[in-house]
Structure 1
Amino acid sequence: MTDIPQPGYPPMEWANAVSTCPSLEGAVKEVVEQLQGRLTTTPDLGLVFISSSFTSEFARLLPLLQSLLPIPALVGCSGGGIVGTSAQGQPQEIENTPALSLTVAKLPGVSVQSFHVSSDDLPDLDSPPSAWSELIGVDPAQNPQFVLMADPFSSGINDLLQGLDFAYPSGVKIGGLAGIDGFNRHSGLFCDRTLYSEGVVGVALSGPLVLDTIVAQGCRPIGPVYRVDKAERNILLALGTADGDDPRPPLELLQALFDTLSESDRQLAQRSLFIGIAQDSFKLTLDQGDFLIRTLLGVDPKMGAIAVGDRLRPGQRVQFHLRDAHTSAIDLENLLQRYQHQAPASTTTAGALMFACAGRGEGLYDQANFDSSLFAQYLPGLPLGGFFCGGEIGPVGQTTFLHGFTSVFGICRQPSSEVER
């Protein structure tokens, strides 16, 4: 991809700095000093992510930051681990160590609206789209893109995602659930100059900006694609095949599939078996990224039914999936390759955000910086910031979901044509 500024707009400026200084004052000073040498003007947006180990000092973070580097819109949260870019330009995933990551961006022509939404303020799901847009304070005609950070104990995050998709159907939504301190189970949400302990904070970006997404759910399909013949809420009762065979109990089909697997896959299926739900009803050939991965909650041997971690409806297509470290790596690499080939040739890519499940990282791969380093191989030189989440927000198809065991990347660039604006 080449850096070709769009007519009428200078290039975006995007930078990230990270510090592992155990002192909050020292960490803030270090990231600000690094960033002041990388931007030529005052940033429009800041995204800050801080280790949960700083919990007792969360209230001091925003005043310290704003005193050294005033930022009109500043949002962020605590994380179980922190993602940033070293002074040498290398991606870093900092786990089990105090860390602070600050991303700042100058976004010419872009309207930047930060916000906090309390769970108590969410409209009813039967409300019209206008109720959701009034809550956020952004006109849907502006086609905003969203970055969201949520309280992990909020019961309303799925309702909010559904409402935002309703009000802003073409807007991308990415982010994650804030990390918690293991001792007192507190999290921190930051918006401008205020610390919140509940709800959702976020930023809406409207104007000449595109937010591309890569949602790596870390699974590979096994067996055929089935069609849901009968289901009640989240209970899968009968599946049919593409060949038109009579519907059968899903547990019976799963047991037959199990017999066809290799010994290694059988062992993996005993602990890491999932189901994928196709999100495009009309696509004839389904790829890995076309499925929303959900857990299997249990089985009923008498009925041959399977309980799934999401609602199902007749006519949907499903496929069983396996997940492990090797599969997660291959899945992310395939998606990065696809993005590299499909991205517009003449575009200005500015920076990126990474929201990764706390179950990934070094604990999954036995290797530090795996996902971020793989990302940098395909999109070198991009400033990268983010955090390890208790749940990841990202789209599959045209719908936004809360995921698990996933890495969501948001790639910010200027439009390559008037069509993208």
Structure 2
Amino acid sequence: MTVTLDSDTRFHAACAAGVEWGPTVKACLDRLGPVAGCNLGFLYLTDGLAEHATSIVTLLRGVTGIRHWVGTAGIGVMANGAALFDEPGLAIMAARLPEDSFRLFPTLTDGLEPLRGSAGGWLDKHGAALALVHVDPHHADMAGLVSRLSEEAGVFLVGGLTASRGEFPQIAAGAEDGDPVTDGGVSGVLFAPNLPVATALTQGCRPIGPTRTVTASDDNVILEIDGRPALDVFKEDIGPELAADLRQVSGLICAGLPIAGSDTQDYLVRDLIAIDPRAGWISIAERVTTGQPVMFTRRDRETAAADMRRMLDSLKKRVKATPKGAVYVSCIARGPSLFGAANAELSMIRETFGDIPLTGFFASGEVSHNRLYGYTGVLTLFL
């Protein structure tokens, strides 16, 4: 998606690690530098500090004078070229944006009424091209809520699912007069069409074998593909070396579910859950239906790096000016477990776009357009 900020627009980003939230916030603010005139803050906490989210937001609002804050918790957070993964810490980005170019909305759990109540008038006046959203993974209908928000508000979504072993804070301070930190749904910030942005997604996988058809299924179990036992087709597509020892496919091979109507040949990547060598079926982490297209994908460091660079090169061709700021959301299964270093993706972004202010987090699922993804990276540039 592609939609120059005025010369007065600016971004600052920084991160800091620490087990004590007060000193960690101070250290981060010291690195952030002056924020006078900034009117929107992005706050990402690693889950080690998630329980202190309300206190941290309250302190930040008081010290910086920035009333509006959005964010959530992740297993890791990032700022500029640094990433903190699986250690207590936080990342902050402060932005000075044109007045009326953004509007926060509170946590949505059952429908869009809170959005209409807090931002309905603003939407009627300005409309929205993009929304940065944070999703509580405990919500029973995450995918449905994300889809309805995109379609009913007419907005392209980017963001991710909170990743935490403790609390799941949804930060939308300034959306209304209530608690600035909640949980249980989807919250975020809407950006007006006059705020130019560019966003893109990297899958981190490559298809192996052709796109096939599920010809028999039961919930998330694929019984037959192209009229043959699913496992026979699976072994054929992954090749004889992996087929000889199926224990090798865990974490390496996934199912790809092509998205109907996509003009970019997009697909959802889902884990393999179980394989039954006797019955010949495979089970994946998504409900499938008979007649649905399916393919298999390979995921490794080289493939993910190549697709990341492909995405960045494509985005670079669409972006004529140096970005003024960025938000990057990466899957927790990427980061150091895939690339070997927590900041590997940030290094690739900086190689392409230079030393731009950036913040983001490692999520338990990613949001792009109107759906949830896994194993992906979603980059959003403010131009």
TM-score category of the 2 structures, normalised to the smaller one: 0.7 to 0.9
**Structure 1 residues 197 and 270: alpha-carbon distance in aligned structure 2, compared to 1, 3 A threshold:** closer
Q: Are 2:371 and 1:400 equivalent residues in the alignment?
A: yes
Q: Are 2:309 and 1:309 equivalent residues in the alignment?
A: no
CA deviations 1:201-254 (Å, max 9, x no partner) are: 3111113123432322321111112244555654445444xxxxxx43433322
Q: Are 2:201 and 1:225 equivalent residues in the alignment?
A: no
* SS of alignment partner, residue 209 of structure 1: coil
Unaligned runs of 5+ in 2: 174-178
| Counterpart AA for 1:329 | A
Q: Give distance in 2, aligned partners of 1:168 and 1:134.
A: 9
Equivalent residues of 2:170, 2:187 under 8 A apart: yes
**Structure 1 residues 329 and 265: alpha-carbon distance in aligned structure 2, compared to 1, 3 A threshold:** farther
Q: Are 2:162 and 1:165 equivalent residues in the alignment?
A: no
Q: Are 2:87 and 1:102 equivalent residues in the alignment?
A: no
* Partner residue in 2 for 1:318: 294
* Partner residue in 2 for 1:377: 351
Of 144, 169, 172, the match for 1:188: 169
Q: Give distance in 2, aligned partners of 1:263 and 1:295.
A: 17
State the Cα distance separating 1:162 from its structure 2 match. 1.6
* Partner residue in 2 for 1:137: 119
Q: Give distance in 1, aligned partners of 2:243 and 2:353.
A: 37
Of 195, 201, 212, the match for 1:215: 201
CA deviations 1:121-172 (Å, max 9, x no partner) are: x13xxxxxx8686266343770341111223322232221021122134x22
Q: Are 2:14 and 1:29 equivalent residues in the alignment?
A: no
**Structure 1 residues 96 and 293: alpha-carbon distance in aligned structure 2, compared to 1, 3 A threshold:** closer
* Partner residue in 1 for 2:176: none
Q: TM-score, normalised by structure 1?
A: 0.77
State the Cα distance separating 1:92 from its structure 2 match. 0.6
**Structure 1 residues 224 and 266: alpha-carbon distance in aligned structure 2, compared to 1, 3 A threshold:** farther
Matches within 5 A, 1:256-275: 256-259=236-239, 268-275=248-255
Of 42, 60, 70, the match for 2:55: 60
CA deviations 1:150-202 (Å, max 9, x no partner) are: 23322232221021122134x2212222232x4xx223232216222433331
**Structure 1 residues 161 and 197: alpha-carbon distance in aligned structure 2, compared to 1, 3 A threshold:** closer
Of 330, 336, 339, the match for 2:315: 339
Q: Give distance in 2, aligned partners of 1:172 and 1:324.
A: 29
**Structure 1 residues 16 and 279: alpha-carbon distance in aligned structure 2, compared to 1, 3 A threshold:** same
**Structure 1 residues 195 and 165: alpha-carbon distance in aligned structure 2, compared to 1, 3 A threshold:** closer
* Partner residue in 2 for 1:13: 10
Q: Are 2:379 and 1:409 equivalent residues in the alignment?
A: yes
Q: Give distance in 2, aligned partners of 1:262 and 1:199.
A: 40
* SS of alignment partner, residue 228 of structure 2: coil
Q: Give distance in 1, aligned partners of 2:262 and 2:167.
A: 44
Of 261, 277, 286, the match for 2:257: 277
State the Cα distance separating 1:326 from its structure 2 match. 2.3
| Counterpart AA for 2:163 | G
| Counterpart AA for 2:187 | V
**Structure 1 residues 154 and 136: alpha-carbon distance in aligned structure 2, compared to 1, 3 A threshold:** farther
CA deviations 1:275-294 (Å, max 9, x no partner) are: 212225475xx75xx22212
Q: Give distance in 1, aligned partners of 2:195 and 2:333.
A: 31
Equivalent residues of 2:61, 2:67 under 8 A apart: no
**Structure 1 residues 94 and 176: alpha-carbon distance in aligned structure 2, compared to 1, 3 A threshold:** same
* Partner residue in 2 for 1:419: none
| Counterpart AA for 1:179 | A
CA deviations 1:298-322 (Å, max 9, x no partner) are: 3566775443333445665432101
Q: Give distance in 1, aligned partners of 2:108 and 2:262.
A: 37
Q: Are 2:228 and 1:248 equivalent residues in the alignment?
A: yes
Task: Figure out how many residues of one structure are paired with residues of the other and give that number.
Answer: 372
* Partner residue in 1 for 2:326: 352
**Structure 1 residues 97 and 269: alpha-carbon distance in aligned structure 2, compared to 1, 3 A threshold:** closer
* SS of alignment partner, residue 65 of structure 1: helix
* Partner residue in 1 for 2:78: 83
Q: Give distance in 1, aligned partners of 2:262 and 2:182.
A: 42
Equivalent residues of 1:236, 1:305 under 8 A apart: yes
**Structure 1 residues 302 and 27: alpha-carbon distance in aligned structure 2, compared to 1, 3 A threshold:** closer
Q: Give distance in 2, aligned partners of 1:52 and 1:308.
A: 28
State the Cα distance separating 1:385 from its structure 2 match. 0.5
* SS of alignment partner, residue 323 of structure 2: strand
| Counterpart AA for 1:153 | H
Unaligned runs of 5+ in 1: 86-90, 124-129, 241-246, 414-421
Q: Give distance in 2, aligned partners of 1:157 and 1:68.
A: 34
CA deviations 1:400-419 (Å, max 9, x no partner) are: 22x33322222222xxxxxx
